[in-house]
Structure 1
Amino acid sequence: MTEPRILLLPGWQNSGPGHWQTRWESVHGDHRVEQHEWMRPLRGDWSARLEEEVLASPGQVVFAAHSLGCILVAAWAAHSRNTHKVRGALLVAPGDVESDNLRQQIPGWAPIVREPLPFPAVLIAANDDPYCEASRSRQLAADWGARFVDAGAGGHLNAESGLGDWPEGRKLLNEISKEKN
């Protein structure tokens, strides 16, 4: 079985130097899906870029999504005819774009697509994430058919969370990479 290509899907404003996604890109050679506009993201544009990257990958892919990247995965999966190329997804700290604060800052992303994902997924979230209440993260996992992992207290599971290379997250990603649809 060929190893899948890991596609890193950063959230709004991209992932900076101390973020686990950036570290994984450097250490493991994972591929970041670059967006044309990180500050004013458009759901259709981001979905189109993801579709291009999935089609450009020679074999299967695994998504490692953070924040708005999680919301992107659900939106993309609801419309793409290429979901069969996805072995699985690690969904980290989804951003609640239906909350009043984020809805105003990132317009056009609500409502969140709530259809079950057509591939295995694990959603990991902290119970003190300022961008998504724990109950909302659990509900998104249930809606998407994803296994939920409670990360405890860790904030938005980003660079400010002090995760470093985040071996716990990488372990989850490796488990997903080995699963068969």
Structure 2
Amino acid sequence: MKASETDILLIPGVGAPHRDHWQNRWSARLGTARRVEQASFTQPDRDVWIETIRKAITEAERPVVLVAHSLGIGAALHALDGAADKVAGGFFVAPPDLTLKGPRKKIFETFGPYPNAPLPFPSITVASQNDIHGSYEHAGDVANAWGSFLVDAGNSGHIDIDSGHGPWPEGTMVFAQFLSRLKPRA
């Protein structure tokens, strides 16, 4: 598929979206991409996030490609109920371990658990070897459960501004290749 044949929904995770974050840069460069805006990125409400994403999917006019980062992945996957038939593919970056102990434990727990079944569309999961919000092994386990192709991003942290990923050209290349291989769903 070409980007012009899709509605690319960029789904951020928790925290105020930084203007230089790779998702914002992609939104500015890809004409059919738009960031799914939530009522609050700093105090995420699971039900509100899921419904906002589901609405964005159902209102899309072309096949949807989900591009979710961090906590946005859990919300996007839960939003598929009743909307999965419009999704042509998923590009998931830095899936957090929703059971991990730490400063965001309560927030992460409310978005879990991840669905533990194959997704009804092709997907790629990009994960880092040193993500503070989840191990590479955990990312491999969830990617395997979803039937998602796992891409090893090396030691890239959480693949966000804090880990130096503003432009993220490697991600752009992987996404472009993924998008070119997608086919519209019947």
Q: 1:168 matched to which residue of 2?
A: 170
Contact preservation (8 Å) 2:74, 2:112? no
What are the superposed Cα offsets for residues 64-100 of structure 1, whole Å, 9 maximum, x if unpaired? 11000111222222x2x22121110110001112112
Name the residue aligned to 2:83: 82
Measure, in 2, the Cα distance between the counterparts of 1:68 and 1:135: 17
Percent identity, please: 33
Aligned partner letter, 2:160: N
Query: For residue 18 of structure 2, what is the aligned residue in structure 1?
Result: 16
What is the aligned counterpart of 1:38 among 38, 41, 52?
A: 41
> Offset at 1:104?
2.2
Separation (CA, whole Å) in 2 of partners of 1:105 and 1:61 = 27
**Contact persistence 1:40–1:106 (CA under 8 A):** no
The 8 Å contact of residues 18 and 164 in structure 1, kept in 2 or not, is answered as yes
Tell me the TM-score normalised to structure 2 length.
0.88
Which amino acid in 2 is paired with 1:68? L
Q: Counterparts of 1:6-155 in structure 2 under 5 Å? A: 6-29=8-31, 30-77=33-80, 79=81, 81-101=82-102, 102-155=104-157
* Runs of 4+ with deviation above 6 angstroms: none
Unaligned runs of 5+ in 1: none
Residues paired across the two proteins, number: 179
When structure 1 is superposed on structure 2, of 160-169 and 49-58 the one drifting more is 160-169
- State the 1:128 CA deviation: 0.4
SS at match of 1:100: coil
Rounded to whole Å, the distance in 2 between the matches of 1:75 and 1:116 is: 13
The two structures, once aligned, show a CA RMSD in angstroms of: 1.7
Distance in structure 2 (CA, Å) of the matches to 1:166 and 1:87? 23
